[in-house]
Amino acid sequence: MEIDAAREVRTTCPYCGVGCGVLAKVAADGQVSVRGDPDHPANFGRLCSKGSALAETIGLDGRLVHPEIHDRRTGWNEALDLVASTFSQTIAEHGPDAIAFYVSGQLLTEDYYLANKLMKGFIGSANIDTNSRLCMASSVAGHRRAFGADTVPGTYEDLELADLIVLVGSNLAWCHPVLYQRIAAAREKRPEMKVVLIDPRRTMTSDIADMHLAIAPDGDVALFTGLLAWLGQHNALDRAYITAHTTGFGQALFAASALDLAGVAAATGLSEDELSRFYSLFAATARTVTVYSQGVNQSSSGTDKVNAIINCHLATGRIGKPGTGPFSVTGQPNAMGGREVGGMANMLAAHMEIDDPGHRERVQRFWSAPAIAGKLGLKAVEMFQAVAGGRIKALWIMATNPVDSMPDADAVEAAIKACPFVVVSDVLAGTDTIRHAHVRLPATAWGEKDGTVTNSERRISRQRAFLAAPGEARPDWWIVAEVARRMGFGEAFGHVTPAEIFGEHAALSGFENDGARDFDIGIYAGIDGEEYEALAPFQWPASSRAAQSPRRPEQGARAVRGSSTTRFFANGNFYTSDGKARFIPIRASTDTRTNPDFPLILNTGRIRDHWHTMTRTGKSARLSQHIAEPFVEIHPADAQHHGIGDADIVRISSTRGEVLVRALITPRQRRGSVFAPMHWTDQFAARGRLDTLTAPLVDPVSGQPALKHVAVRIEKFAAK
Ligand code: SF4
């Protein structure tokens, strides 16, 4: 389809990790309209309700448009000078680890790259972490344990080529709607394709499921270790693949065999018949993709869940082939881009490792940096605990709202309030976080900024500006560079366009790459502004500048080799020292956090039409109509037991706090557990901040908080 470039701008949706292409148009009267980009390989023209409403969420009401110091409007020079001088003074008095940056999967890759460069190479600390820690850190850790690197093997086309899709802890219909639509469309064409949904709730995703396993909360490790044991017992293993391409199978199978089928049934809350039917289907279906998201990742056993899933794919050789593989889908629009540039406290840029001296030396030399972080930094939960404990003296929060979104939110708010120096750069003036900032820096929003994002299938797409920045708002990368220059690092932060930053990031990804880590985009090193402007969506690794030609699924074969991408692990080689994938031995635990005072398990999550803390979607009346107020889903038997009627206002209490929400009684909810969405803040509902209930309990490997397993009690607060 021909696009009139003068009137329609190709950009990318800023919500979820599907990364849909959007065509945005500004009419002569200033009205903005959007439609799905028919040529974008993620969505081929589709948009979900949130993407379709983008034009309704870009108004300037509530925007921060001028820098502020202590609630006083000021100019950029004064604000930036204060930030830079306070950071420099803090480093001089307390050392680099007294500074922390808490950044966001909403940032563009160029923003992320510069923030990481400033912190790790010039300030000399790894205390930069991201709200993506709450989103996919367990998958990153699981990939690194099994594959030797954070490399995602799946692509969206695999979902259409699979004969069996196993959805684990993933309400795709609401949280990754366009992927759901692609699967539903593929299933229409190929009725033999089967879908299994594994989720404590019967969500809207169950509409396309042939089988729904209403698993007990955090029963996933038992389910997949049970599957591994079952595959072994039923001669359903790919022995040749295991021998040639993996290590550690014997130990993993031994650990998995600790539970017999009855034990797995007890741990998962599923019947032995349900288990046998699922295990038989998995064993019999060579083309199987296992998709997982927050139900797996946001758990105190999240990394073990990821590796239990990967173990089953390695044991059957179902990885690196079309229509197969474990596939973690990311929540945020640029969670993947942050991983590429080392925007996490335990990573270096370009997929390099902080604890590898060779990698540290290489990155430091490339940056000509005066320092390089020598040890892992503080992960998100640890970071705010360090703020509370007084170890962090200066905190910069970029494009995120931790006062509402971090677990134990009241404690996080108290920590931020007590921190001696807090900088917040954001789009909005009134978030619950920015209210506590000493310095507020106005950032440009979607539609006003240029850069790139990477979606769940490793596809890098451009976000393009089509609106003028309001007031004095500036791109995040510009703000970081200005602070760096004022701290005396001007030579390394002289970028004047995002294209220059992308070109530097690409150059580092290919810098002295000896071929052992072939997931760089080095071919784009030094890209010029014109090429960057025209950059078409492509997947990494990028072996050729010819962008991958978008194909519709019905056109058949994958567009991989010969265009720009390689299927990871197609040759059976992994990024471990011996080139073999590692089985991880995992034992299921029967941990439960309920007790007589808090007898129910709260599962927190998302709804179809809102995004995170509603700072954008809350502006759209249409989106707010879908579900107008915070609620808790409760099973009819639990409701009766606790004396709760449908639509009653109820109080949910945990050891951390309490909220008031509307009761929604539904058999879709599993007995013994309840579900509530995380979006509402005090701005939208009195006492509705759900993360005042959640605890700072994390997965010990990934540091990802367990946001889906909180012991609570529920009682009627008032009549409807
Ligand atoms: Fe945006 Fe995700 Fe919806 Fe696509 S599926 S339009 S990326 S929110």
The 10s digit of each residue's pLDDT in 1-49 is 444 445 799 999 999 999 999 999 999 888 999 999 999 999 999 999 9
With a cut of 60, say whether residue 446 has pLDDT above it.
yes
Other Cβ atoms less than 10 A from the Cβ of 488: the count is 11
Minimum-distance ligand 1 atom for the alpha carbon of 48: 3
**Residue whose CA lies nearest to ligand 1 atom number 3:** 48
What distance in angstroms lies between residue 410's CA and the mean position of ligand 1's atoms?
Answer: 31
The preferred substitution site among 12, 13, 156 for testing ligand 1, maximizing ligand atoms within 8 Å of CB, is 13
Contact 635, 603 (CB under 8 A): no
Contact 359, 149 (CB under 8 A): no
What is the rounded end-to-end Cα distance, in angstroms, of the chain?
Answer: 53
Mean pLDDT of 413-434: 96
More confident of the two residues 116 and 610: 116
* Contact partners, residue 225, CB within 8 Å, separation at least 6: 255, 256, 258, 259, 264, 308, 311, 586, 587, 588
The preferred substitution site among 11, 18, 617 for testing ligand 1, maximizing ligand atoms within 8 Å of CB, is 18
- Tell me the pLDDT tens digit for each residue of 459-494: 999 999 999 999 999 999 999 999 999 999 999 999
What distance in angstroms lies between residue 677's CA and the mean position of ligand 1's atoms?
Answer: 18
Minimum-distance ligand 1 atom for the alpha carbon of 36: 6
What distance in angstroms lies between residue 235's CA and the mean position of ligand 1's atoms?
Answer: 41
Residue type, 521: I
What distance in angstroms lies between residue 1's CA and the mean position of ligand 1's atoms?
Answer: 21
Per-residue DSSP letter, 121: I
The preferred substitution site among 176, 332, 611, 623 for testing ligand 1, maximizing ligand atoms within 8 Å of CB, is 176
Distance CA 631, CA 20 (A): 29
Contact 424, 437 (CB under 8 A): yes
Mean pLDDT of 558-586: 77
**Residue whose CA lies nearest to ligand 1 atom number 2:** 16
What distance in angstroms lies between residue 341's CA and the mean position of ligand 1's atoms?
Answer: 23
What distance in angstroms lies between residue 452's CA and the mean position of ligand 1's atoms?
Answer: 16
With a cut of 80, say whether residue 639 has pLDDT above it.
yes
Q: Which of 658, 594, 603 is nearest to 635 (CA)?
A: 603
Percent of the chain topping pLDDT 90: 80
Q: How far is CA 15 from the centre of its chain?
A: 11
Minimum-distance ligand 1 atom for the alpha carbon of 22: 6
Query: What pLDDT score was predicted for residue 719?
Result: 53
What distance in angstroms lies between residue 13's CA and the mean position of ligand 1's atoms?
Answer: 6
Query: What pLDDT score was predicted for residue 590?
Result: 64
Mean pLDDT of 670-684: 86
Mean pLDDT of 228-255: 98
Query: What pLDDT score was predicted for residue 546?
Result: 40
The preferred substitution site among 48, 106, 135 for testing ligand 1, maximizing ligand atoms within 8 Å of CB, is 48
- Tell me the pLDDT tens digit for each residue of 71-126: 999 999 999 999 999 999 999 999 999 999 999 999 999 999 999 999 999 999 99
The beta strand positions in 118-210, using DSSP E, are 128-130, 164-168, 194-198
Q: Which of 714, 585, 554 is nearest to 639 (CA)?
A: 714
Distance CA 370, CA 1 (A): 50
| CATH of span 68-134+334-495 | 3.40.50.740
What distance in angstroms lies between residue 46's CA and the mean position of ligand 1's atoms?
Answer: 9
Query: What pLDDT score was predicted for residue 144?
Result: 94
Mean pLDDT of 178-188: 96
Query: What pLDDT score was predicted for residue 691?
Result: 86
The preferred substitution site among 11, 12, 16 for testing ligand 1, maximizing ligand atoms within 8 Å of CB, is 16
Tokens of 172: 């795709």
Tokens of 640: 């009766």
The burial of 661, by beta-carbon neighbours within 10 Å (0-12 exposed, 13-18 middle, 19 or more buried), is given as buried
Percent of the chain topping pLDDT 70: 93
Domain boundaries, the chain: 8-57, 68-134+334-495, 137-329, 600-718
* Contact partners, residue 560, CB within 8 Å, separation at least 6: 548, 566, 567
Other Cβ atoms less than 10 A from the Cβ of 529: the count is 13
Q: Is 8-57 CATH 3.40.50.12780?
A: no
* Contact partners, residue 256, CB within 8 Å, separation at least 6: 225, 226, 228, 229, 232, 311, 585, 586
Distance CA 234, CA 257 (A): 13
What distance in angstroms lies between residue 25's CA and the mean position of ligand 1's atoms?
Answer: 18
The domain made up of 137-329 has a fold known as Dimethylsulfoxide Reductase; domain 2 (3.40.228)
What distance in angstroms lies between residue 37's CA and the mean position of ligand 1's atoms?
Answer: 12
**Residue whose CA lies nearest to ligand 1 atom number 4:** 20
What distance in angstroms lies between residue 455's CA and the mean position of ligand 1's atoms?
Answer: 11
Mean pLDDT of 262-267: 96
Calculate ∠ Cα 709-102-302, nearest 5°: 30
Query: What pLDDT score was predicted for residue 87?
Result: 98
User: What does the mean pLDDT of the chain come to?
Assistant: 91
Q: How far is CA 653 from CA 137, 295, 597, 600, 650, in A?
A: 28, 22, 10, 10, 10
What distance in angstroms lies between residue 278's CA and the mean position of ligand 1's atoms?
Answer: 30
What distance in angstroms lies between residue 606's CA and the mean position of ligand 1's atoms?
Answer: 14
Of 382-391, 415-424, 536-545, which range is least confident?
A: 536-545
Query: What pLDDT score was predicted for residue 1?
Result: 41
Tokens of 311: 């173990």
- Tell me the pLDDT tens digit for each residue of 540-552: 877 544 433 333 3
Distance CA 104, CA 612 (A): 12
Minimum-distance ligand 1 atom for the alpha carbon of 18: 7
Query: What pLDDT score was predicted for residue 562?
Result: 31
The pocket around ligand 1, CB under 6 angstroms, is made up of: 13, 15-16, 18-20, 43, 47-48, 50-51, 176-178
Residue type, 536: A
Minimum-distance ligand 1 atom for the alpha carbon of 177: 5
Mean pLDDT of 206-225: 96
pTM: 0.94
The preferred substitution site among 50, 56, 330 for testing ligand 1, maximizing ligand atoms within 8 Å of CB, is 50
**Residue 516: band (very low, low, confident or very high) from pLDDT cuts 50, 70, 90:** low
Minimum-distance ligand 1 atom for the alpha carbon of 611: 8
With a cut of 60, say whether residue 388 has pLDDT above it.
yes
The preferred substitution site among 11, 12, 15 for testing ligand 1, maximizing ligand atoms within 8 Å of CB, is 15
Minimum-distance ligand 1 atom for the alpha carbon of 51: 6
What distance in angstroms lies between residue 312's CA and the mean position of ligand 1's atoms?
Answer: 30
What distance in angstroms lies between residue 358's CA and the mean position of ligand 1's atoms?
Answer: 39
Tokens of 368: 């000509």
Q: CA-based Rg of the chain, rounded to a whole angstrom?
A: 24
What distance in angstroms lies between residue 608's CA and the mean position of ligand 1's atoms?
Answer: 11
Per-residue DSSP letter, 663: E
Q: How far is CA 235 from the centre of its chain?
A: 36
What distance in angstroms lies between residue 14's CA and the mean position of ligand 1's atoms?
Answer: 8
**What is the dihedral angle through the alpha carbons of 624, 628, 634, 640, rounded to the nearest 10 degrees?**
-170
What distance in angstroms lies between residue 151's CA and the mean position of ligand 1's atoms?
Answer: 23
Distance CA 24, CA 3 (A): 11
Minimum-distance ligand 1 atom for the alpha carbon of 333: 7
The domain made up of 600-718 has a fold known as Barwin-like endoglucanases (2.40.40)
Distance CA 221, CA 223 (A): 5
Minimum-distance ligand 1 atom for the alpha carbon of 455: 7
Distance CA 660, CA 428 (A): 26
β-sheet with 32-36: strand ranges across:
8-12, 21-26, 32-36
With a cut of 60, say whether residue 657 has pLDDT above it.
yes
Minimum-distance ligand 1 atom for the alpha carbon of 16: 2
With a cut of 90, say whether residue 629 has pLDDT above it.
no
The preferred substitution site among 35, 43, 174, 455 for testing ligand 1, maximizing ligand atoms within 8 Å of CB, is 43
With a cut of 80, say whether residue 342 has pLDDT above it.
yes
Tokens of 128: 């930069």
- Can you count the helices (H) and strands (E) in the chain? 24, 26
- Tell me the pLDDT tens digit for each residue of 356-373: 999 999 999 999 999 999
What distance in angstroms lies between residue 7's CA and the mean position of ligand 1's atoms?
Answer: 22
Distance CA 305, CA 222 (A): 9
